[in-house]
Amino acid sequence: MIPRMPKLVWLNGCLSPIEDATTSVADHAHLYGDGLFEGIRIYGRRVFKLDEHLDRLYHGCSYLGYAMTLSKAQVRDIVLDVCRKADISDGYIRLNVTRGSGLGLDPRAVKTDPNVMVMISTLALYPPEAYETGLEVVTTSFRVFPPDALDPRLKCIGRYAANILAKAEANKAGAGEGLMLNTHGNVAECTGDNIFLVKDGRLRTPHPSSGILKGITRDTVLALAQKKGIETVEDTVTRFDIFCADECFLTGTAAEVIPMVRLDGQPIHDGKPGPVTKALMADFRNETLTGVPFDH
């Protein structure tokens, strides 16, 4: 019999099974979406890109004006300790920081320290076979937030309402994922992933100014491609570019690297995962072995 994988939550210093964890109904993220999160992968008892995720989290805390009482080094130690106690080999970490608890939109209504949560669980966005055959994607009617409304580099909980609606729209269309455009009608990202296309041996992806989350897996893939000698370009991408691409794929912490083979019912090239995509998928799998170990 396969033992049940432990799922633990550390919340403001208290460790409990995930089923027993509770948070205040006055938490500012619960009331207003006023919180940040990071999704982080565990591979082979190592936490992948932990420091990069923590850097992004603390940049967000600074931007939103959270009065963090825990240092980045302390949160890093907490994450590794909770992973150790969960005794997990492969899994998914959800790290949340909210402004604190207090009723009222005004940040001055929050009289507590920020609430910090580390959850150890599992997450799979797509079925295993999708990594072999590729995803069919539809363009959704929901746009990403423009940068003058909310900086797209901010991994804010409230930001994801639009992504959830876009995902629901893709589900209704029977597609594996939904493509989101920006207010100019250019390609931004999918509901939980960054997007790449390959054309004439060159790798292209939307520039951060397009309204995308600057994904950590995205940055990892750009570095892996450059290491292979593949020219990489961050620029404006349109749906026309995708239809004319030789290959297309998506990236994200939960998604990892997954081929995209159709958009709005039209095959991309021959409708099959391409060689550059497959090579970068293999390189990414090797890269996941470089995480931070949590065993003593």
Query: What averages of pLDDT result for each successive group of 10 residues across the chain (296 residues)?
Result: 66 94 95 97 97 98 96 98 94 97 95 96 90 97 90 91 96 97 97 97 95 96 97 97 98 96 97 97 96 89
Q: What is the reported pLDDT for 3?
A: 44
CATH code matching the domain that covers 130-288, chosen among 1.10.10.1100, 3.40.50.20, 3.90.105.10, 3.20.10.10: 3.20.10.10
Radius of gyration of the chain (CA): 19
pTM recorded for the entire structure: 0.94
CA dist list (Å): 71 to 45, 64, 154: 24, 16, 19
Q: What is the reported pLDDT for 2?
A: 40
Between CA 11 and CA 124 the distance in angstroms is: 23
Q: Where in the chain is the domain with CATH 3.30.470.10?
A: 8-121
Between CA 8 and CA 198 the distance in angstroms is: 40
Q: What is the reported pLDDT for 70?
A: 97
Q: 20: how many CB neighbours lie within 10 A of its CB?
A: 9
Q: What is the reported pLDDT for 125?
A: 84
Q: What is the reported pLDDT for 129?
A: 94
Q: What is the reported pLDDT for 272?
A: 96
Q: Does domain 8-121 have CATH number 3.60.70.12?
A: no
Burial string for 47-72 (b: 16+ CB within 10 Å, else e) reads: bbbbeebbebbbebbeebebebebee
SS3 76: helix
Q: What is the reported pLDDT for 108?
A: 94
